Each structure stands twice: as structure tokens, then as C-alpha cells.
């Protein structure tokens, strides 16, 4: 499928603008994160009780929050109350940090207290649609495992790229991957999504997706170095990006369509994961074209591609001297 006819866009020219834009987004996300007092952790990591109530009639969230203030045992004043899913579904999510004792007690005490408080307030007929309970010990364990999985994935990617490519390529690819993670974290903060296990899975997915796209471009850069040894790396990278542009657009476009469908029709439980994937796909494509190439070029400096060509290939490509 041919989308572009001999594209010759000067992507490298805009690398400084792209770096400035990325830095602005990341710093804005960091500032908002500090203002919020840290990331919003899902119940899997923070521990707590989540109850989803489905009412027969539309119900005012303020009245639900007021009813929880009188919840037996306390804890209702700090409860998070919000709409869940489509407004027409009349579902309300209630999350309280308090859980029952993890040993020698009932973990479902808080869930029963939420239900009892709402029924006592006579807010209308409802049923408990979903209940999720995670104790603090389990939450801490999941938090450690999530961080460990992310760090190990990044370490494995760094090792693979360092072995397959030269140092400038490895640094560029790793910088692009870290960029995608920071930009994704910034957008999760902007739109106030909780960090859940589904979101962690999406982050690991976009890490691999971003690296795969970057490797395709760098493979073409390495091939071009053998025939463009007198050109500087900026020109070689620009040619490679244009050569793989159609592939990048088709791959990112089809993946984005599938993930957008998941975001729109996958339900509330998968919305955070789908949003993370959408941001990661867009950021991964953007970072492959601008960030990875920009970092590799800066690392290389103003030297020609000849100094970076594989030695054995460069030697094989040298013309033989005629005997005098």
C-alpha cells in the first residue's frame, strides 16, 4: 500500500522544536503531579474498597457523598464518589481507603458499611454491581511487583539495543522509550486516571511498541550508512525516516484504530488502559521520528556516517586501488 510518493520531509530540522515541546509537556505533568501530592494509585496499589452501585433512577452524587459521611466506623468523609460508565446507566462508584482487618476479620466490612449507609439514606432502589477489595499488605506487594516489572523491562530493552546497535543508537532508543513513559505519565496526570494494574500492563506494552518502531528506523539508518558514508548522520537519519514513513503511518494508524475502539466501547474497566495505549502509540511514533533521531545525532555530533559505518562493511565497500 503506497501512501507517500518519494517523501522528502526534513524531520531532523524540527528536532529542537520537538524536544522543547516534549520537555514542556513533561514538566507540566510533573508540576501537576506535585500539586496533587503524588500519582493517583488504584485500589490494587493503594489498598481500599471499591463499590459500584447501580440505581434504578438518576441519583445526585452530592447526596451519596453526604450519606457516606455517617458511615458506621468512619472513613466515609474521605470517600471518593463519581459517575461510573455512561450517565444513562445510573451507576456510581464509591471508593474508601478503609478495609477490614486482613487477618482475623472480614475484608468486606467496608463494602457492607457503604451499602448500609446508602440504603439508610433512602436514595432510591439500587443493587451492588461490583465490589473490589484490596488490603494494604497486598497493595504494597503489587506496587513493588509493578515497579520491578517496569524496571526489568527497561533494563532488558537497554541491553538488547546496546548489543544490536552502536552506542549512539542505543542511547537514542532508550531516551525515546523513557520519553514515552514520561509523556504517558503526564497525560494520565492531566486527565486524572488512576494507576492500576491494567495501566501498568499498557505502559509495558507501549514500551515494547516504541522500541520496535525505533529499531525499524535504525535498521534502515544502518543500511544507509554503507551507501551514504560521506554524508553526516543527520542527513542519513532523515532519509531513513522518510523511507520508513509509510510503514510507520500504517502500523500506528491501524493500531490506533483498534485501541480507540477499545476506549470507546470497552467499558469503564478498560478505559484507563485504552487511554494509556492511545497516548503511548502517538508518543511512540512521535519519539521515533524526532526524539530517538535527535538524541542519536547529538551523540554523534557533526561527524559523517563514515565514522559510524560497520567496520567490516565499510572495508568491503572500499574501491580497490589500481596497480600503478
Torsion sign across C-alpha atoms 219, 220, 221, 226: positive
Where are the domain boundaries for CATH 1.20.1640.10 in the chain?
A: 12-38+139-313
Where are the domain boundaries for CATH 3.30.70.3400 in the chain?
A: 48-134
Does residue 297 surpass a pLDDT of 90?
A: no
Grid cell listed for 87: 450517565
CATH T-level assignment (fold) for domain 48-134: Alpha-Beta Plaits (3.30.70)
Residue 322 gets the label, from left (phi > 0), alpha (psi -120 to 50) or beta, of beta
In this prediction the pTM is 0.77
pLDDT in tens, 160-205: 777 877 777 778 888 888 899 999 999 999 998 988 888 988 988 8
CATH T-level assignment (fold) for domain 12-38+139-313: Multidrug efflux transporter AcrB transmembrane fold (1.20.1640)
Question: Percent of the chain at pLDDT above 70?
Answer: 84
Q: pLDDT at position 20, please?
A: 93
Three-class DSSP category at 78: coil
Candidates 2, 5, 152, 123; CA nearest to 64 is 123
Amino acid at each position: 500500500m503506497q501512501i507517500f510518493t518519494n517523501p522528502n520531509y526534513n524531520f531532523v530540522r524540527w528536532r529542537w522544536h520537538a524536544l522543547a515541546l516534549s520537555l514542556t509537556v513533561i514538566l507540566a505533568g510533573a508540576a501537576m503531579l506535585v500539586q496533587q501530592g503524588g500519582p493517583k494509585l488504584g485500589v490494587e496499589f493503594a489498598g481500599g474498597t471499591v463499590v459500584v452501585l447501580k440505581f434504578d433512577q438518576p441519583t445526585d452524587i452530592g447526596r451519596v457523598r453526604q450519606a457516606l459521611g455517617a458511615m458506621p466506623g468512619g472513613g466515609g468523609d474521605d470517600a471518593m464518589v463519581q459517575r461510573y460508565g455512561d450517565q444513562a446507566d445510573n451507576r456510581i462508584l464509591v471508593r474508601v481507603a478503609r478495609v477490614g482487618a486482613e487477618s482475623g476479620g472480614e475484608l468486606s466490612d467496608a463494602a457492607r458499611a457503604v451499602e448500609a449507609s446508602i440504603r439508610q439514606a433512602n436514595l432510591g432502589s439500587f443493587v451492588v454491581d461490583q465490589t473490589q477489595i484490596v488490603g494494604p499488605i497486598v497493595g504494597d506487594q503489587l506496587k513493588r511487583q509493578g515497579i520491578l516489572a517496569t524496571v526489568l523491562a527497561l533494563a532488558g530493552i537497554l541491553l538488547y539495543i546496546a548489543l544490536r546497535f552502536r552506542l549512539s543508537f542505543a542511547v537514542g532508543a532508550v531516551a525515546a522509550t523513557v520519553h514515552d513513559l514520561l509523556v504517558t505519565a503526564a497525560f494520565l496526570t492531566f486527565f486524572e486516571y488512576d494507576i492500576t494494574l491494567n495501566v501498568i500492563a499498557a505502559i509495558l506494552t507501549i514500551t515494547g511498541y516504541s522500541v520496535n518502531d525505533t529499531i525499524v528506523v535504525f535498521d534502515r539508518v544502518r543500511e544507509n550508512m554503507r551507501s551514504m558514508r560521506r554524508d553526516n548522520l543527520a542527513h542519513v537519519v532523515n532519509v531513513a525516516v522518510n523511507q520508513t514513513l509509510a510503514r510507520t503511518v500504517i502500523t500506528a494508524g491501524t493500531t490506533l484504530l483498534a485501541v480507540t475502539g477499545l476506549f470507546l466501547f470497552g467499558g469503564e474497566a478498560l478505559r484507563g488502559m485504552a487511554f494509556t495505549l492511545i497516548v503511548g502509540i502517538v508518543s511512540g511514533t512521535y519519539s521515533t521520528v524526532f526524539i530517538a533521531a535527535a538524541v542519536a545525532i547529538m551523540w554523534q555530533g557533526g561527524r559523517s556516517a563514515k565514522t559510524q559505518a560497520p567496520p567490516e562493511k565499510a572495508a568491503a565497500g572500499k574501491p580497490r586501488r589500481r596497480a600503478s
